[in-house]
Structure formats: structure tokens, C-alpha cells
Amino acid sequence: MNATTLPASLDLATLAAAYRAGLKPSALFAHLHDLAAADDHRAWISLLPRSELLARAAALDVVDPASLPLYGVPFAVKDNIDLAGLPTTAGCPDYAYDPADSAVVVARLLAAGAIPLGKTNLDQFATGLNGTRSPYGACRNAFKPEFISGGSSSGSAVAVAAGQVSFSLGTDTAGSGRVPAAFNNLIGLKPSCGVLSSRGVVPACRSLDSVSIFTLTAADAAAVFAVAQAFDAEDAYSRPLAPHGRRFPAGAPFRFGVPRREQLAFFGDAENPALFDAAVARLTALGGTPVDLDFSPFLETARLLYGGPWVAERYHAIKDFIERQPESVFPVTREITLGGAKATAVEAFDAAYRLKALKRRCDAVWQDVDLVITPTAGLHPSIAAVEAEPLRINTDLGYYTNFMNLLDYAAVAVPAAMRSDGLPFGVTLFAPAFQDLPLLELANRWQQESGLPLGASGQPLPTGEIAAPGVPDGMLRVAVCGAHLSGLPLNWQLTQRGGRLIGAVRSAPEYRFYALAGGPPLRPGMLRVASGGAAIEMEIWELPAREFGSFVAGIPAPLGIGKVKLADGSQVSGFVCESAGLDGAEDITHFAGWRSWLASRSQA
């Protein structure tokens, strides 16, 4: 590859290979600026001047590509996020201002070597899920221009899908970082609320807003997320990225929730139901067990977002402007926003109380499943259809998305299939807050199995694993061999701490096994020996690290937690026994497991 050969795809792996082979950022960005300037999807509101863009790129021409994590990576910024050097319009020309500084999240990306092309189109003031509510024109879908791009982060998604940038920033309050991803065959990461700073972002609902990331691959989303996330003490809603919970590597079983059949909604679409069924089957093939889920509390929560007082936050964000210049606001946006001025404090408290109760019900599902899968959107309407019925269709588009930030969950929209009409279909995987990385790792496995092309490029997915962005695992594993086994008297000590069964294993054949004196409950002890040992049946449980100390503190002598060697040679924390505690114990090694010994007692 010579210095002017352009990569076939802008995914990070392909782009990095092109740079290693001699491509210079200045050559790439000259091409990309011309490509974006000629775009007819209405994806862009403003571009950096060509001379400034090329100057930024040329500065990297003499820099070692290995020295920056996002060296020469082109990206786009939704035009409600500040980028110094270009106005922030929030999709409203009369509202526009010139920021002195870039938003915190943008500044982090710039410092990592990424280069912005410009600002992208959106549903005005980030109010909408369709991409048509903009005075800059309805953003056109990357596959079929007569269909909606999804919104509000419409241009951000289309710019990635059309091969003009490697990734983009959006925002997601009600689904704006997921619906456009689904409609343009992209990964859409809706991070845990607060882990990406929102300082320098025009708020929609400040207490719920989340800066989102659009990429071609899940691996790319993880790489961008690793750079973008950081605690910002000057953002009142910022919070550190806490240790995540359970991961979903190949070979590890997991359970996932699926809304009951009667609670799924496709709004008359004939093809998407079968595509969703196929997506459930794919997740099952990746090691998951589907679990029927009562989706009603999620749906009730979703209705609170626009049917409750949270609309008042949208009014609060622009109240001075909209009261002074209501004619400057897009008609549908004006109607929705001014409706927020009518909410009372009593209604706000009523809704807050209701949300608290609904969250308790929704959170209860995490006792039974590790994640949930839904369609990202039940239908994909045309621009004409949305313009004819803007409120009803927008409500339909939020059926599977509006609850997410109210409930404080992390979510990843992933491409699932190409429809017979040439439009993409996508699904969303969601889990509790701070499960961003595990969801992306699962999304990476999903993409590797799907065989779908990247965005609208037609290019195949590159292979590769996700490099974890230095976030500690929030789970610990423990091997149990007695009363803590599934269904036995002390198993509750694991389940009430959020423990999950990983699977049955055997120890290495290096242990003697004893029924200890005393009880109830009856307990066994495992003693590692130099010779004459046997393999003992055990279960591996995963427990949140924050709960591990209290679990260990409740273990009575002569038992304790040490390292147990498993049959595959690995070691895991597990129950061990002091030799001094074997007085009066019965050697039951020949049973090779506690359940077998208990069964022999019941038959005696």
C-alpha cells in the first residue's frame, strides 16, 4: 500500500493498518472533507474549513501512529455538543452560539489524536427519534434516502454508515443513540449515565442525558469509550465508571430476558418479528438461555418520559430562548417543549415516586437474567410517513428505548439482519449500569457471528478481540462443595448477595473429602493431600466483589476460603478445611461429592 492509498473501510483496525503501511492523515482527510462536502444525505450542519482540517491532519503526518490511541481517526460531533471553532446550533440557527472550548468529551478525543470533520444534523434540541425535525432538512437514511435515518443523532449515524468518519458522538435521552444505529447498520453505545461528561453539551433532559457513541464495530466502540470516559468533577451528573459485573466470554453460559410474545410490538411490520426471533436464536447460540420477561413495568416506565413531568426538563433547558423566540423552534419541537411548562411540582413528585416503584420491579429481573434483548425499533418508517404522523410514529419508535435512562441501564444497539427491502434491522442488548464493557464484548462476538457488512459500505467485519479499557472486573468467583450448592440449605448466602451459578466443575484429584462433625446444617471439608486424593464435585459461583467480604466473614472454623485446584489445572477461590477440624469427621472421599453422600444417607 503506498502513501496515498485509502482504506476500504474506516473501522479502526483497517485504518490503523493503512497508517502503518504509509498512509498519511493529510491525504486521508483531504479525501474525507471532499466526501462530506458532497454528501446529499443532509448529515452535516457545518464542516471545519478545509485548510484548518488539513492543518490538523498534517500535524500528525510527522507523529508516530503508535503514540496516540486514536491517531488520525476521523470523527463527527452531534451539533448539540461543543466543538471549538464551529458554532453549536442544537439544530436551531437562531439559537446558535460560538463555544470558546470544546466539550470535555470532545477534548479527550482530540488529545488522543482523533480529528473532527465537523458538526452533524439532529432533531432540533435533541427532541425526537426520527431525524426529520430539523430546519437543515430531514436527514436521509444511508441505505434508502426516502426512509428516516433515526434521530435525534441522525447525522452522526449517517456519517459513520456512509464511510465519512470512523465514529461519531451523539446524545441519548430517549433512544437517540440507538434508533439511528439500528436504521444505519451500526453499533450504538448508550453508556451508563454520567460516565461520559456532559459538560459542553446542550441538555435535553439534563438528569437523563447520556453522550453516545456510533461506530462500525463493537471493538471500535470499546476503544473510543476507553478514551472518552472519565469522571468530571465539574459536571454535577458525572460519576466514575465503577467495576463492571459479569462478562460474557465464549464458552460461559448466561441467561437473557426476552419480552413476552404478546408484549412485543412491531406496529404492523410483517418482516421484523421473524428477524427478532432469529436474533434471539443467535444470542442462544452464543451461550445464552432465553427467559420470558414480563415487559410491562419497562413499558410503563417508558411512558413516563414524555407522558410525565420529565418534559419540563426540555422546557427548562431552553426556556428563555423559546419564550423569547417561539417562532424559531421547529413546530413539533415547540409543541412538545412548551407542554413541559405546564408540569407542577406535585406531578413531578408523583412521577418520581412512581418511577421508584417501577425501578424496583424492573431491577428484580437481574436476579434471573444477566441482560435483556429487544428490537431497537419495531418498525422503520419512511420520511413521508413520519411527516404525516410525527407524534404517533415517534412514540412507536420509543417503545423499546424510552425507559433506559430513567432506569439507569447501559445499552448497546447491534446490527442484526438486512431486510428484504434493503433496510437494516437491529436489536438492543441492555444490562444494569456499568455493564458497558461486558455488553460490548458480547456485541463483538455477536458481530463476528452475524457476517453483516460494516455500515453501508459493504465491507466485511475485521476479526479481533476487544482490548479492555483498564476497568476492573467487579465479580469474584468461588468454588463451593457442600451446603452452599444449588438448592442446599446455605445457598441463600450466595443468591442474596447477587451470586450467580457459573457451572459444575470437578477439583483436581488431590483432595480427601470429609463430612464434618456438628450441624445443622451438615458441612463437608476438603483437604488437599500429596497422595491418595480424588476429584470432588463442585460448583463455581460468581459473586459481586463488594459482597465477598461479608460472605467470607460468615464462614465458621474449621472452614475457610483458600485456593482450590480444578481438574483443568486452574485455581479458584473455594472452601478449604483445616486439618485440625477433622476430629470426629467421616471420610466420604469415595462418594466424590456432597450430593452423592447426602443421597446415600436418605437411602439408608
Report whether 138 contacts 159 (CB < 8 A): no
Catalytic: which of 78, 197, 210, 238?
Answer: 78
Confidence band, pLDDT 50/70/90 cuts, at residue 499: confident
Please say if the pLDDT value at position 573 is more than 90. yes
Q: Which residue has the higher pLDDT, 247 or 593?
A: 593
Contact partners, residue 355, CB within 8 Å, separation at least 6: 301, 304, 406
Confidence band, pLDDT 50/70/90 cuts, at residue 138: very high
Residue 247: what pLDDT? 85
Please say if the pLDDT value at position 486 is more than 60. yes
Catalytic: which of 149, 152, 154, 238?
Answer: 152
Closest CA to 67 of 100, 20, 27: 20
How much is the average pLDDT of 381-398?
Answer: 97
Report whether 196 contacts 411 (CB < 8 A): no
Residue 469: what pLDDT? 46
Confidence band, pLDDT 50/70/90 cuts, at residue 249: confident
Residue 464: what pLDDT? 61
Tell me the pTM: 0.88
Please say if the pLDDT value at position 169 is more than 50. yes
Please say if the pLDDT value at position 559 is more than 90. yes
Residue 472: what pLDDT? 59
At which residue does the C-alpha cell 483436581 appear?
508
How much is the average pLDDT of 42-52?
Answer: 98
| Interval 19-36: pLDDT, tens | 999 999 999 999 999 999
Confidence band, pLDDT 50/70/90 cuts, at residue 215: very high
Confidence band, pLDDT 50/70/90 cuts, at residue 246: confident
Q: Which domains does the chain have, with CATH numbers?
A: 12-450 (3.90.1300.10), 475-603 (3.10.490.10)
Report whether 437 contacts 469 (CB < 8 A): yes
176 is catalytic: yes
Neighbour count for residue 37 (Cβ, 10 Å): 13
How much is the average pLDDT of 88-93?
Answer: 98
| Highest mean pLDDT: which range of 99-113, 461-475, 508-522, 539-553 | 99-113
CA distance 163 to 312: 37
Q: How far is CA 516 from the centre of its chain?
A: 47
Residue 139: what pLDDT? 98
How much is the average pLDDT of 107-128?
Answer: 98
Q: What angle do CA 275, 454, 381 make, to 5 degrees?
A: 45
Q: What percent of the chain has pLDDT over 90?
A: 90
Confidence band, pLDDT 50/70/90 cuts, at residue 1: very low
CA distance 337 to 342: 10
Query: How is residue 265 annotated by DSSP?
Result: -
| Interval 278-336: pLDDT, tens | 999 999 999 999 999 999 999 999 999 998 899 999 999 999 999 999 999 999 999 99
Residue 466: what pLDDT? 57
Average pLDDT of the residues of the chain? 95
Residue 500: what pLDDT? 81
At which residue does the C-alpha cell 500535524 appear?
59
Please say if the pLDDT value at position 219 is more than 90. yes
CA distance 417 to 426: 7
Contact partners, residue 195, CB within 8 Å, separation at least 6: 229, 238, 239, 240, 241, 434, 436
Q: Which residue has the higher pLDDT, 248 or 60?
A: 60
| Interval 55-87: pLDDT, tens | 999 999 999 999 999 999 999 999 999 999 999
Residue 532: what pLDDT? 95
Q: How far is CA 241 from the centre of its chain?
A: 13
Q: What percent of the chain has pLDDT over 70?
A: 98
Please say if the pLDDT value at position 468 is more than 50. no
Please say if the pLDDT value at position 359 is more than 90. yes
| Interval 362-378: pLDDT, tens | 999 998 999 999 999 99
Residue 261 identity: R
Catalytic: which of 102, 166, 176, 210?
Answer: 176
CA distance 533 to 458: 58
| Helix (H) or strand (E) segment spanning residue 576 | strand 571-577
Residue 3: what pLDDT? 43
Q: Which three cell numbers stand for residue 547?
A: 459482597
Residue 328: what pLDDT? 96
CA distance 171 to 553: 44
